[in-house]
Structure 1
Amino acid sequence: MLVYTATLSSRLKLIARNTRQLSNLLASVPQAPQDLEFQLNEEFQNDTRKRKIDLFSGIATDSSNEVILFTVIQKARQMLAKRDNNPPNDLSYLPDRVTTDLKIGIIGLIFKDSCPNYGPALLLKKRVVIEPTDGVTGALATAAKLLTLSSLSNTVWIPEPSPPNTANVFEINGFTNIKYYPYAKNGEITTKEWLETIRQGSDGSLQCILLNGCCDSASGIDPTREEWHEIIQTVYDLNMVPIIDMSYQGLKSGNPSSDALVIRTCLNASKFKEWRNGIFICHSFKYTMGLWGDDVGSLTIVLPKEVAGKTKEITARMKDIGRYLHPLPPTQSSRLVSLILSDPTLKRAWYSNLKNRVESNITMKRRLFHCLHWIDLLETEHRHNMTYTPGFSEQQLENLKRKYSIYAGIHGELQLNSFSRFRTICEAFEDVTAKNIKK
């Protein structure tokens, strides 16, 4: 009995000591970087004023703050309910055929619709692999983990400005050296400074670079066709690994195929013979189909010639990473996207929805100009039609929130499809910027 008591006592002491060590360990966990986007969203949610206005999330709402669905989503829901007896609240596992159809649909969008001159040959040579992901964040995370696990690179360049979560995704998934290139400053794109920065930062090691291939959301500015050619040529000459974010494909012109300039340029074999470490393409349908709360995306990799025979191994590794990062793909949105991309009638309806959305945003910019006379609203060479960044100061952004419950993005960007109460917004802008509205 005494032996048993002594043994129990020693075990309890050991448990107590381990508990103290665990407490010390948890106490030493470093403070996570502040995520300003989450903080902004939390501030908006906690604002109890009924007339608050969200200009930062990109969610299209009416004057009552009700979410406006794409009509193609409504049609697809009805078709799914009839065809598969699949109610919108079905929480069962995603069938393999849906995942397969989703992959086929996305590959068709990228390599057939968007790149008809170069894409089909890559598919024929089996140089393309794809894995569905939980939106573009899942795609970026999968790409980052694959690159670092393969010991290809631990350095990535990301644009400044960028959403706060971008650097976190790469850091958490193994990148130890995160660099920034100056994408835009004071409402102007800084291509020359950008390219000079990455040239000077090239040290002979393999480096990755994140390119926002369509509608940069943080700045509201895109490079011109000529600038993109120079950018991609520089990335190619420096032997960098391009990671292309195509989350907003279709929201620049209203036509997803037309908006794939960056992908078409990279795949132009007559100009860029071989990307020796592949091309990583990240997709999302969050904004382009209005799937804000149930986003689905994909990571697609264009393989170099010498590893074209390794598609099974690379796909298996992508699946393995995907199971770790996002074990179950979004069920309802996967069904919807798969159906829309595979059904010609629904696909045309989707293109029509995107065209209407872009035309509506263009009209909104014109209305803003007639009210506020901000000349850069008419600039079309660099400014795209999804986001507008007027250059508000921090104090002006704070005044918009405090006086009017109007919330712009963390960089002062405004999502043009969110202007449901136009006159209220214009009067607020006039007040905080001391500019006159045309009555």
Structure 2
Amino acid sequence: MASQVASVFAGIAQAPEDPILGVTVAFNKDPSPVKVNLGVGAYRTEEGKPLVLNVVRCAEQMLINDPSRYKEYLPITGLAEFNKLSAKLIFGADSPAIQENRVVTVQCLSGTGSLRVGGEFLAKHYHEHTIYIPTPTWGNHPKIFTLAGLTARTYRYYDPATRGLDFNGLVEDLSSAPLGSIVLLHACAHNPTGVDPTVDQWEKIRQLMRSKSLLPFFDSAYQGFASGSLDKDAQPVRMFVADGGELLMAQSYAKNMGLYGERVGALSIVCGSADVAVRVESQLKLVIRPMYSSPPLHGPSVVATILRDSEMFNEWTVELKAMADRIISMRQQLFDALKSRGGSVWLV
């Protein structure tokens, strides 16, 4: 028998499984035929299978059949057409910020990568290094921003007693935040509670943040997936853009196009002027280059193919609304079933 060589890593402790992705690991190991995966939030069919949208399959086939396509590296900022169309999708095609060339968009590795790039950019170039995140929030948020070089603090968001938004607590905490602090905002379908501010509440949040020069950093992981309407789910973001102020926006196409494993995302920064936008883009390149050099090609090509073609875009919105409507219906059915059995339940 070969003698065992002492490892220089022998002192490393066993790390715990990720609390969310670890559930999927346990699910895959469980031999039960009646198991249900309550881990990562990915859409499933009635049979519990992953769904690939028809429009995505069509877009992929078009790409495969195109003999002119190549596999060269993308630029550091990613696929230019994807970036342009992504900005229009979230900010609106008629957005003054886009028309005035005040928006910088770079392709990133889904929502997580977009948040990380944005966090590192702020740690290097913004005068405040404190970011306020809601309580509760997605479990990865504090880790991402802390490792990016920011200090994460919390503001009240969810009230367990009412199963709703703690608006007064939110306003009080943001009013107490130091001038210029960064504030993370879920654009829609707040993760993990599903509780979103009303339009009127969003307007009050906007006024408060602008009065204190708080910098908004939106995380949009569910545009169109929450209500079934792309424009409705983007309304809070567009309210902040309409006032002419600056903000950061992290986008993901994992949920709304079912491109989970393709890791397709974008980071947009709305700047005060076009010349500032040019300089911001130059510094974003310096953040991305030593991190992953350049992003992948296939996923954003699928997205761009769908967004540029009016018929494919319309087909996508139909499939997207069908997914959103089914989720809303299933939540209502679960609520009704639990209530009929005498349970004390809330639907938020």
Q: TM-score, normalised by structure 2?
A: 0.87
Structure 2 counterpart of 1:56, from 18, 39, 43: 39
**SS in structure 2 of the partner of residue 324 of structure 1:** coil
* CA drift at 1:240: 0.8
Structure 2 counterpart of 1:318, from 260, 284, 288: 284
Structure 2 counterpart of 1:329, from 295, 299, 309: 295
- Hey, what does 2:25 align to over in structure 1? 42
Structure 2 counterpart of 1:172, from 127, 138, 147: 147
Structure 2 counterpart of 1:101, from 81, 96, 104: 81
How do 1:115-264 and structure 2 match up within 5 A? 116=94, 119=95, 121-175=96-150, 177-186=151-160, 187-200=163-176, 202-204=177-179, 206-264=180-238
Distance in 2, matches of 1:178 and 1:366, equals 35
Structure 1 counterpart of 2:319, from 353, 358, 368: 353
**SS in structure 1 of the partner of residue 255 of structure 2:** coil
Q: Residues 322-350 of structure 1, C-alpha deviation per residue, up to 9 Å, x if partnerless?
A: 22333342332111111111111111111
Q: Is the 8 A contact 1:138 1:325 kept in 2?
A: no
**SS in structure 2 of the partner of residue 181 of structure 1:** strand
Q: Is the 8 A contact 1:98 1:335 kept in 2?
A: no
Q: Is the 8 A contact 2:182 2:215 kept in 1?
A: yes
**SS in structure 2 of the partner of residue 44 of structure 1:** helix
**SS in structure 2 of the partner of residue 157 of structure 1:** strand
Distance in 1, matches of 2:72 and 2:238, equals 35
Q: Is the 8 A contact 2:97 2:241 kept in 1?
A: no
Distance in 2, matches of 1:164 and 1:34, equals 13
* CA drift at 1:63: 5.5
Q: How many residues align?
A: 337
* CA drift at 1:49: 2.1
Distance in 1, matches of 2:145 and 2:335, equals 39
Distance in 1, matches of 2:178 and 2:336, equals 50
Unaligned runs of 5+ in 1: 1-22, 384-439
* CA drift at 1:151: 4.0
Q: Residues 264-313 of structure 1, C-alpha deviation per residue, up to 9 Å, x if partnerless?
A: 211223xxxx53xx2101100000100111121111011013xx313332
The code of the aligned residue for 2:97 comes to L
Q: Residues 170-211 of structure 1, C-alpha deviation per residue, up to 9 Å, x if partnerless?
A: 011111x210112113222111111112222x234x310100
Range 338-347 or range 366-375, more displaced: 366-375
Percentage of identical aligned residues = 24
RMSD, aligned CA = 2.8
* CA drift at 1:149: 0.6
* CA drift at 1:358: 1.5
The code of the aligned residue for 1:109 comes to L
Distance in 1, matches of 2:137 and 2:90, equals 24
Whose radius of gyration is greater, 1 or 2?
1
* CA drift at 1:32: 7.6
**SS in structure 2 of the partner of residue 180 of structure 1:** strand
* CA drift at 1:369: 3.3
Structure 1 counterpart of 2:240, from 260, 266, 272: 266
Structure 1 counterpart of 2:91, from 105, 108, 111: 111
Q: Is the 8 A contact 2:110 2:252 kept in 1?
A: yes
Q: Residues 101-129 of structure 1, C-alpha deviation per residue, up to 9 Å, x if partnerless?
A: 1112112213334xx3xx1x222322111
Structure 2 counterpart of 1:282, from 250, 261, 264: 250
Distance in 2, matches of 1:289 and 1:94, equals 24
* CA drift at 1:69: 1.2
Unaligned runs of 5+ in 2: 1-7
Distance in 2, matches of 1:372 and 1:151, equals 49
* CA drift at 1:226: 1.2
